[in-house]
Structure 1
Amino acid sequence: MKRDNINALNAPQPRGGYSQAVSIEDFRRVLFVSSQIPVTSDDVVPEGFEAQARQVWLNVDAQLKAAGMSKTDIVKVTTYLADRQHVMENREIRNDYLGSLAPAMTVVITGIFDSAWLMEVEVVAAQ
């Protein structure tokens, strides 16, 4: 698969480990991962934002692996945060998970389905 990160010089430059656009060519398949929630496989919601964010990324990783993919296949991330106060901590934890990978990205501050959850993340991956 050919993948290009695109950041037009005549538009705002990305801040925080993402690309303004990602182009993919010659891919075999695309995987759409539903919003992953901060709940463990035994139905426990971790305490605090950091623990919840790390659990969400563990859940994203589990879905990717179940599909025979990995985080390097992620081309788009959408994050839903329950509160704007978590923006910077979210960025740090996301960057810990993604490393130098810079997918297209959207972060939305919104009400979350369950009031105990502080975030959700959905991804699109391609191989």
Structure 2
Amino acid sequence: MTLSIDSVDPAELPESSPAYAHAALVRGAERTLFISGQPPWTIEGDVPADFDGQCRLAWENVRAVLAAADMTVENLAKVTVYLSDRRHREANSRIRHEVLGDHRPAITIIITGIYDESWLLEIEAVAVG
């Protein structure tokens, strides 16, 4: 069976945005990768000062984990983004859409305190392959 990750958007619910689906239905997966929360830091521990830089770096870190498992963002079935402040919602959505393109995994965004005060977000995910 070929791997497919299909969007599920029930007619009984409000329409989801083009950037996410209400659910992701996975068929034909042989592997499941649980990606720990990826903070916006470099291998040296440096953290960009601005949200856009942090968001792009956290996504680069997610991509690095995916690549280590021979996967790409197309394998993402579920993404959870933890934001330190709701004022980052629009930038987060814009950059996530740049990273994911037309791929629409299930998405949850949580506004919360983050482990390190210098981090403005953290991204965790589940990928299948």
Deviation at 1:16, TM superposition (A): 4.8
Query: Which of residues 25, 44, 47 is equivalent to 2:46?
Result: 44
Alpha-carbon displacement from aligned partner over 1:21-62 (angstroms, at most 9, x marks no partner) = 111122110000000001011110111100000000000000
Query: Which of residues 79, 87, 90 is equivalent to 2:89?
Result: 87
Deviation at 1:15, TM superposition (A): 2.1
Distance 1:13 1:103 in 2: 15
Query: Which of residues 19, 33, 43 is equivalent to 1:31?
Result: 33
1:77-116 equivalences in 2 (<5 Å): 77-116=79-118
1:66 paired to 2:83: no
Distance 2:6 2:64 in 1: 25
What one-letter code is carried by the residue in structure 2 that aligns with 1:27? A
The answer for unaligned runs of 5 or more in structure 2 is none
Give the CA RMSD over aligned residues: 0.8
Which consecutive aligned stretches of 4+ in structure 1 deviate over 2 angstroms post-superposition?
none
Deviation at 1:71, TM superposition (A): 0.7
The answer for unaligned runs of 5 or more in structure 1 is none
Distance 2:69 2:15 in 1: 32
| Range with bigger deviation, 3-12 or 107-116 | 3-12
Relative to the length of structure 2, the TM-score reads 0.96
Q: Please state whether the residue corresponding to 2:95 is helix, strand or coil.
A: helix
